[in-house]
Chains A and B, each alone.
Chain A
Amino acid sequence: MASATCQSAYCNQGWSEVLTHMSPYGFANFGIAFGLGLSVVGAAWGIWLTGSSLVGAAVKAPRIRSKNLIRRVWSGVDCWNSTAIYGVIMAIILANKVKKPEEAASSLSEDWDWAGYYYAGYGMFSSGLSVGLTNIASGVSVGIAGSSCAIGDAQDSSLFVKILIVEIFASALGIFGIIVGIIQSNSCTFPITALSG
């Protein structure tokens, strides 16, 4: 056992130590990265789920290729764009909250707002994850609904609006994420100066 455990003072004692010793700035920026990255993963997933079905269904029903296709691609793209855009919005909001200290020093002073500092880091990390994970779910869900929508629309164009509403419900899942994400990040502000007095 002794050989497996690192005895040096510079060694981490496992993941819990790594995570608790990570800089809140690091957490905040990872939050931004996950929020944006996972949202785009969700949007991309949705687009290929529907895209492949859409192109296939359009072969035998050229009708959906023209006006209808554009209409439905636009609405679809709108749904996925909204998924990706939620990620971008969240990333911008979060990125604006990451501020560096006014006085650049190698170490922070004793009366630094440590609670606010860590709170901001963890809060922004989790708000990024909230947005990212909900948007993956929303993107996949829009994709599956959209894939069926494309196939259904090729058979019966009167289904278009009806399935589109289902698709919009699926894309609304992403809104839940961004609402909670914004609330979570609201009170996360990085302190820039030491507490006065």
Chain B
Amino acid sequence: MATMATPAPKSTPGNMANFNILHGFAEALVRGMRSSFLADADYHHLTQCETLDDVRLNLSETDYGDALADMNTLIPTGLQKAAVEKLVTEFQYLRTQAIEPLSTFLDFITYEYMIENVMLLLKGTLSGRDINELIAQCHPLGMFKESTMRSIPTFESSPRGYQDLYQTVLVDTPVGPYFSLFLRETAGRSEVSNVLEEVEIEIIKSSLIKYWIEDFAQFVDSLGGETAIIMGDLLKVRADTNAINITLNSFGTPLNEPAMRASDRKRLYPALGHLYPAGTSMLADVSDEDELGRVLELFPQYSSIWNVHASGGSDGKSIDDAFYERDVQMLELAFEGQMHFGAFYAYVKLKEQEIRNLVWVSECILQQQKEEIHKFVPVFSFNAPWRAGAKKQGR
């Protein structure tokens, strides 16, 4: 694993008897916010709606009421924007209440969005899009200063350009260390990569996310206790998901060429997770979906997810849906234990899932695709396959 970009925490979250000294209030806050998730009944009402006005009416009864109050006509993108802004407000409220080491933990959650924003800006300029339009698309959790945001797209997308981008702009940002790790690693190799610029951007993004996951995992590990157990597992699964998706998405791209599999694709697999190291070294040799399936067959927790993909989505599910479902199940577990930081990460991720659900439902209503409307993963649902409530109803 690379050396830690973020210094080790000076103190640990503590155990059952003293966690609450510093973090009791913030933890209770996030657990209180858990009650704001849409319930089964809310989803039921939403899926019965005929128009988006009905959706707005139904949502006004829920926690989203205030966020949508001054919205005259509801459109899916507007709903998404308002919901994300609401999540960001809540997250920033938590952040202001947090003290070390929780504050660094919360910052870690935002680094992922920062990486995505940098990549969005770089990618957007490649396709010649307007900077204002791009900034509007950036995730508000990963915002830099306005001047930083505006200067990122001015650099050309070449190794030289990335070097300049790092040295003049990104060095001051929290994701700078990840970028410098990436530059150091690419500088060590000869200039063989004549890949397309589009692929190059994806490789940079995957590398940065890999460094972020590894750094986050090391930080969480040094926190110790319940946090290391629960959050460590969430990050392991996250790393595995990334490794599988990188492999799956590389088919049909230059990244799948035999020369690049070992040199470039293998480097993108995070150095942690249930697949690491045996699984990832096997993934490095995979050249098509059948071979990927045979590797995943060896890992029981992923073979079922792979089967969803291999069966071509028998009940209309994609591998992303299967991953989402597994994520929701794992993230809900973070709320089952107390006195650890995992719940903060889980809250952000579960809220994202809820926003995806809302967008899906409203899109289905907008496009009159009512038969597709139930294809979402509700959060904290009593009808979830892993809950006792599902058995009672004979599902």
Contacts and interface: CB of A to CB of B under 8 A. Distances in A.
A55 B28 contact: yes
B27 A56 contact: yes
Contacts of A45: 17
B32 A52 contact: no
A148 interface: yes
Interface stretch (A7-15, A150-158, A166-174): A150-158
Contacts of A61: 32, 35
Nearest to A148: B338
Contacts of B27: 53, 56
A154 B17 contact: no
B119 interface: no
A60 B33 contact: yes
Contact of A60 (B17, B20, B36): B36
A44 to B, nearest CB: 12
B20 A52 contact: yes
Chain B interface helix/strand/loop/mixed:
helix
Interface range for A: 20 to 34
B24 A53 contact: yes
A60 B244 CA distance: 38
Contacts of A178: none
A56 B338 contact: no
Given A144-B16, A151-B338, A56 B24 contact: yes
B114 to A, nearest CB: 27
Contact of B32 (A48, A51, A56, A143): A56
A54 interface: yes
B21 A154 contact: no
Interface string B1-37: 0000000000000001100110011111101111110
B16 A57 contact: no
Contacts of A155: 31, 34-35
A155 B28 CA distance: 11
Interface string B29-52: 101111110000000000000000
Contacts of A151: 28, 31-32, 338
A59 B35 contact: no
B338 A147 contact: yes
A58 interface: yes
B343 to A, nearest CB: 10
Contacts of A148: 338
Contacts of B25: 52-53, 55-56
A197 to B, nearest CB: 56
Contacts of A147: 20, 24, 28, 338
Contacts of A144: 16-17
Interface string A35-50: 0000000000100110
9 contacts: A48-B21, A56-B26, A61-B32, A61-B35, A143-B20, A144-B16, A154-B28, A154-B32, A155-B34
